[in-house]
Amino acid sequence: MPRSLDLSKGPVIEVVVLVLENHQGDVLITQRKADAHLANYWEFPGGKVESGENLSQALKRECIEEIDHAPNRVEHILTLNHEYPSRTVRIQVFHEISTHPKVKPIESQSMKWVPFDELQHHQLPPANTPILEYLHKRNKNQNHQTN
C-alpha cells in the first residue's frame, strides 16, 4: 500500500547507495563527516542524485567521488522512503559483489569492511534498517540452500 509522505518538508531527496560486498561476504561502510547531516554515522557509499542524472550515473559518480570505485555489475535490491525531522529521502539501494575491489577513501573518511552480521554494531542511519534485514534474510536463505 502506498505510504503518504509529508511534503511540507520540501521535495523528496533522491539518494542512491551501494552495498559493496567482497569475496568474504564483508560489506563496505564509510563514516559520515562530523559536520554533515547524521554526523559520524556509518553508512553505505552514495549520496544525492543530481539534476539531469539517472540512478546509475549518480551511483557511479558518488562511488568514484567517495571510494574511487566504479560499480560494475549492480543489482537494484530495495527502494526505501524515510522521513527525517527535516527532510524526506528516497533511497535506491544497489548491491554489487566484487571479489577483490580496490577502494580508497577519497574524502579522508574512515572506511571499513564489516561482516554483514556485525553491521548492527555500528551506528547506521535508521533509514538503513531494511537493508540490514535484507542482508540477514538473504544470508539465511543462502545457508539454508547449502545445508
What does the binding site for ligand DGT look like in residue numbers (CB under 6 A)? 15, 17, 36-38, 43-44, 46-48, 89, 91, 125, 127-128
Name every residue whose Cβ is closer than 8 Å to that of residue 28 and which is 6 or more positions away in sequence: 20, 21, 22, 44, 45, 67, 101, 103, 111, 112, 113, 114
Residue nearest ligand DGT (C-beta atom): 47
Nearest-approach distance from CB 49 to ligand DGT, in angstroms? 8
> Judged by CB, which is closer to ligand DGT: 1, or 7?
7
**Is 44 or 94 the residue whose CB approaches ligand DGT more closely?**
44
Nearest CB to ligand DGT, comparing residues 65 and 117: 65
**93 contacts: CB under 8 Å, gap ≥ 6:** 17, 19, 44, 76, 77, 78, 79, 80, 131, 134
